[in-house]
């Protein structure tokens, strides 16, 4: 019985020492499940990852190429928008019961309203970043001067809430993940690391706590590891968090606590490929070749451009006198070249050359002639009821008087003399 009491007292003393070290900025000792007072089956914190914000200024594959150098089944818990009682206090109690360490991104306005909540986050050993002063969702559209003011005011308000003991980490998350290059560059110039996430649980939406749990675990299983984005100001998050922590333990996930490097706390050694969510393994063949590097040739002399004499086909051949060129060509049967005109074909000057106008006779077309038709035309009498138009059309030449019209009687057979046709 005394032995058990001594073990319990040692565990409590270790917990107090851990909180004291965290308050003075010393390296935090990972809280494993076995070291969690009163909960030997706790999830715990498997290890502490120390990062240098200057080497990796942007992390989180929801928006950036790099993320934290996590191993398979490692998770980093993050909470935004606090502190807000009573939800933030309940989140801290749930994390403490499982000896889990997380990262909180504080809003400056909330820090001014509830400074004791910010100090409680620090005293529990969690990392504290900032989340602007007023949580604007237009950081990607507002002028950079206003964005800088939001960032600086949020940092100042959080530092004021922490007091002389400090404890602020150089971590920042843009509200709504509305990234802007100018904002990211400003944060990098101040040595602040911009955090996105690898997957959210959508706990800011009006969904039930069970849905928050489902989205968190489903997306975590799909990624295999990464940064989980939650909000400690939401009641649904408070209700979903116990089951999330329980399933993380059941499914073999491990919690990683992230802190910033300091002169007394060197960064965790990592390889560049570890900052990729799914780095390419040397044992797996890739399907595309790497890009060809852009080589720079310094001091390379420029080759001279060819001169016009270099393009002459006769270059390098002995010149042949003109007096010998003609007999040689005649002997070989080669025709002599046409002499080039001494004057240009088009005379120089601004006056255009006038071409001769062709004669009109060139365009005259000789047409065939026909014998004139005599004016002595005869008319024939048509049967009764014939069309008057047809009667006018039947005037014909005397030479054609022998032609027969269908339905008519020859004039000679009727004993009639030619005369005008009367229309009835």
Reading the block at residue 66, the tokens are: 């790099």
Taking the C-alpha atoms of residue 229 and residue 102, their distance in angstroms, rounded to an integer, is 11
Taking the C-alpha atoms of residue 38 and residue 245, their distance in angstroms, rounded to an integer, is 16
C-alpha dist (Å) from residue 238 to 32, 207, 250: 23, 13, 19
Beta strands in 89-180 (DSSP E): 103-106, 127-130, 168-172
Q: How many C-beta atoms lie closer than 10 Å to residue 306's C-beta?
A: 8
- Calculate the CA dihedral of residues 83, 84, 87, 88 and round it to 10 degrees: 10
What predicted TM-score, i.e. pTM, was given to this entire model?
0.62
DSSP SS3 for 2:
helix
Q: What is the helix (H) or strand (E) element at residue 259, kind and residue range?
A: strand 254-260
Tell me if 101 sits within 8 A of 125, measured CB to CB.
Answer: yes
* Spatial CB neighbours of 381, under 8 Å, sequence gap ≥ 6: 414, 416, 421
Tell me if 22 sits within 8 A of 28, measured CB to CB.
Answer: yes
Tell me if 28 sits within 8 A of 262, measured CB to CB.
Answer: no
* Spatial CB neighbours of 397, under 8 Å, sequence gap ≥ 6: 373, 374, 377
Pairing of strands 226-231, 74-80: parallel
Q: Report all structural domains of the chain as residue ranges with CATH numbers, in order of start.
A: 2-275 (3.20.20.370)
Taking the C-alpha atoms of residue 169 and residue 172, their distance in angstroms, rounded to an integer, is 9
Exposed e or buried b per residue across 29-67, where buried means at least 16 C-beta atoms within 10 angstroms of its C-beta: ebbebebbeeeeebbbbbebbbbbbeebbbbbbebbebb
* Spatial CB neighbours of 154, under 8 Å, sequence gap ≥ 6: 106, 107, 108, 111, 130, 131, 132, 133
Tell me if 175 sits within 8 A of 229, measured CB to CB.
Answer: no
Determine phi and psi for 226, rounding to 5 degrees. 135, -170
Tell me if 208 sits within 8 A of 235, measured CB to CB.
Answer: no
Tell me if 47 sits within 8 A of 256, measured CB to CB.
Answer: yes
Sign (positive or negative) of CA dihedral 213, 217, 218, 220: positive
Reading the block at residue 112, the tokens are: 């001014």
Reading the block at residue 163, the tokens are: 């007091």
Reading the block at residue 48, the tokens are: 């502490």
pLDDT tens for each residue of the chain, 424 residues long: 444 445 455 545 544 444 444 443 433 445 555 578 889 999 999 999 999 999 999 999 999 999 999 999 999 999 999 999 999 999 999 999 999 999 999 999 999 999 999 999 999 999 999 999 999 999 999 999 999 999 999 999 999 999 999 999 999 999 999 999 999 999 999 999 999 999 999 999 999 999 999 999 999 999 999 999 999 999 999 999 999 999 999 999 999 999 999 999 999 999 999 999 987 666 666 666 666 666 665 666 677 777 766 676 666 666 666 666 666 666 666 666 666 655 555 555 555 667 777 777 777 777 666 666 555 544 455 555 555 555 555 544 444 444 454 555 554 444 545 555 444 4
DSSP 8-state class, residue 226 = E
């Amino acid at each position: 019985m005394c032995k058990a009491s001594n073990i319990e007292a040692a565990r409590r003393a270790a917990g107090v020492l851990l909180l004291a070290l965290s308050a003075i900025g010393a390296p935090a000792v990972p809280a494993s499940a076995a070291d969690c007072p009163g909960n030997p089956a706790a999830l715990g914190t498997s290890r502490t990852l120390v990062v240098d914000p200057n080497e990796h200024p942007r992390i989180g594959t929801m928006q950036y190429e790099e993320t934290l150098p996590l191993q398979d089944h490692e998770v980093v818990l993050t909470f935004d928008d606090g502190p807000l009682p009573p939800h933030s206090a309940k989140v801290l109690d749930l994390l403490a019961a499982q000896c889990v360490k997380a990262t909180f991104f504080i809003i400056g306005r909330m820090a001014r309203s509830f400074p004791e909540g910010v100090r409680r986050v620090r005293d529990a050993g969690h990392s504290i970043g900032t989340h602007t002063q007023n949580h604007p969702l237009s950081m990607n559209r507002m002028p950079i001067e206003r964005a800088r003011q939001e960032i600086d005011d949020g940092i100042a308000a959080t530092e004021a809430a922490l007091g002389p003991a400090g404890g602020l980490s150089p971590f920042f998350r843009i509200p709504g993940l509305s990234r802007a290059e100018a904002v990211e560059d400003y944060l990098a110039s101040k040595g602040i690391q911009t955090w996105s996430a690898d997957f959210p649980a959508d706990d800011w939406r009006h969904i039930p706590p069970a849905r928050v749990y489902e989205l968190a675990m489903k997306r975590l299983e799909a990624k295999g590891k990464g940064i989980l984005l939650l909000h400690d100001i939401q009641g649904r998050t408070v209700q979903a968090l116990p089951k999330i922590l329980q399933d993380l333990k059941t499914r073999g996930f491990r919690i990683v606590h992230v802190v910033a490097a300091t002169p007394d706390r060197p960064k965790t050694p990592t390889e560049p490929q570890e900052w990729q969510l799914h780095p390419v393994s040397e044992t797996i063949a890739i399907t595309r070749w790497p890009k060809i590097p852009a080589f720079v040739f310094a001091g390379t002399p420029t080759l001279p451009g060819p001169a016009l004499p270099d393009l002459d086909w006769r270059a390098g051949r002995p010149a042949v006198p003109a007096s010998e060129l003609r007999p040689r060509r005649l002997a070989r049967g080669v025709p002599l070249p046409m002499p080039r005109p001494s004057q240009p074909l088009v005379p120089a000057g601004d006056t255009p050359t006038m071409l001769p106008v062709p004669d009109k006779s060139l365009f005259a077309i000789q047409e065939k002639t026909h014998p004139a038709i005599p004016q002595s035309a005869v008319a024939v009498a048509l049967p009764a009821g014939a069309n008057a138009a047809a009667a006018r059309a039947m005037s014909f030449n005397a030479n054609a008087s022998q032609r027969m019209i269908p339905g008519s009687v020859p004039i000679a057979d009727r004993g009639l003399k030619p005369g005008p046709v009367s229309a009835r």
